[in-house]
Amino acid sequence: MGREKTTERPVAGNCRCGWFLAGKREKRYAMGNDPFEIYSGKLYAQWQQARDEGRDVAALEEACRAVRDAAAKGPAAARDQLPLAYALYDALEAAAVRPGHVYCEPSDYAGILTQRPESQDVGQLPDRAVLRDRILAGWTGRVAGCLLGKPLEFWALKPLRGMLHDIGNYPVDRYIAAADFTPQIREKYDIAVGSPVNKQPWIDEIGDHAPIDDDTNYTVLNLRLLETFGRDFTPEEVLFAWVNWMPAGVCCTAERIAYVNALSGMRPPETAVYRNPYREWVGAQIRAEIFGWVNPGDPQAAAEMAYRDACVSHVRNGIYGEMFAAAMVAAAIVCGDVRAVIGAGLAQIPTHSRLAEAVRDTISDFDAGVTYEQAVQKLHGRYNENDMFDWCHTIPNAVIVVLSLLHGAGDFAKALGLCVQAAMDTDSNGAVVGAIMGSMLGSAGIPAYWGDCFGRKLASSVDGYHLMELEELADRTLAVAVAEKCV
């Protein structure tokens, strides 16, 4: 799948990934959530990105790692390292592609079109009532998957599995609640309860609605984008929506960098690349579903809309992840075959990309009889969950989505459970799997429990959309979907 796993292995705590601050339950600033983060601290991730792009940067690895380590001593040290960090950034960007690099991964839409396979029909457009139901089920699945994965987001695989076994929820078939934990389990796994202190609330702590989360914020934001600017919105209008309708503090990683770059006067695609080591991370993949819902049965149109959104913050496989997810949702609304849905997603991304290769390998393993557990172990053998670059990258998380869809065998709860059991970015992956499964199965295919637990209401950070009923969100999404279609 493109490269060997990194050899650098940060030390993990008892139940968190190694980049999680033990005992403080807060993300390191490397996650991109510290408003005062300094570029020198993320230089090694920039080196990893350049390596994955096929650039000849092996000779710069030690220097980039040294700058990062020096910057970790504190803000003053990080600022002292900035001149060297900027010089190394320029050197990484200027490095030539290594001979023998086999991937062809354009970031422009015209280039992507030349590298993807031929699209095929996926199914007949349903009538208006069925379409609305599948959109509503997609919204329900997305929120449910996010809620299931949210409190598990920073767990490493081994302790996550241990905790789930200890509470009798493995394989996962229900939300995890604070009430599941005895005092002994809480101590064993350093579990925090009591929202908002936790910031990762368990299902019995959320109240009567799903709380604000970046994995649902962008779905709401992109609905307002479509309602305001129409189906022909531009990347510049995407940035307008971010800057005017959503606080910067709720943006993470690549989105935060693009936001700051936009405030500095940059425009796409520069916002996506300038000093942005997160540009192939999973952030764009979590913004995709609305473009599938408003293009039912038309994966190509869904993927093209997703491209216009993704290119403001991502490149290469970061863009492809959003196109892949959007196309799968568009297909899922009209097609009940999981394999065909995944194939519709693959048809919209470059054949010779690392993402397409990883998805094809996952399908091949499934067909060869590789079990779910074997596939998860293979994934974790290749990607290091204690390295932020791997943990939040598009490719391993997309593989988890595909694994969950294949092994879920058309069962909503099973697919969601398999998704979060694999660790990595659990809420992002759960949201994508939930949206695809809901769109495919409709409301009848989602046990009422999954929506009842959050009152079928969603909070967001989007201006004017702070607390919404899923029924209203579905109606508004349907209005965009039928604007140019005879349904």
Residue ranges for the binding site?
425, 427-428
Distance separating alpha carbons of residues 206 and 216, to the nearest angstrom: 15
Return the H-helix or E-strand segment holding 44: helix 43-52
Dump the DSSP string for 87-143: HHHHHHHHPPBPTT-------SHHHHHHHS-------PPPPHHHHHHHHHHHHHHHH
**In the structure encoding, which two tokens stand for residue 272, read together?**
């996506």
Dump the DSSP string for 267-307: -TTHHHHTT-TTTTBTTTGGG-HHHHHTSTT-HHHHHHHHH
Q: Coil, strand or helix: which one is 482?
A: coil
Annotated binding-site ranges for Mg(2+) = 425, 427-428
Strands (E), 142-231: none
Say how many C-beta atoms besides its own lie within 10 A of residue 367's C-beta: 10
What are the CA-CA distances from residue 89 to residues 43, 44, 75, 94, 179 (Å)?
Answer: 7, 10, 19, 9, 48
Is the Cβ–Cβ distance between 152 and 189 less than 8 Å?
no
Distance separating alpha carbons of residues 380 and 422, to the nearest angstrom: 9
CA nearest neighbour of 221 among 264, 184, 255, 188 = 255
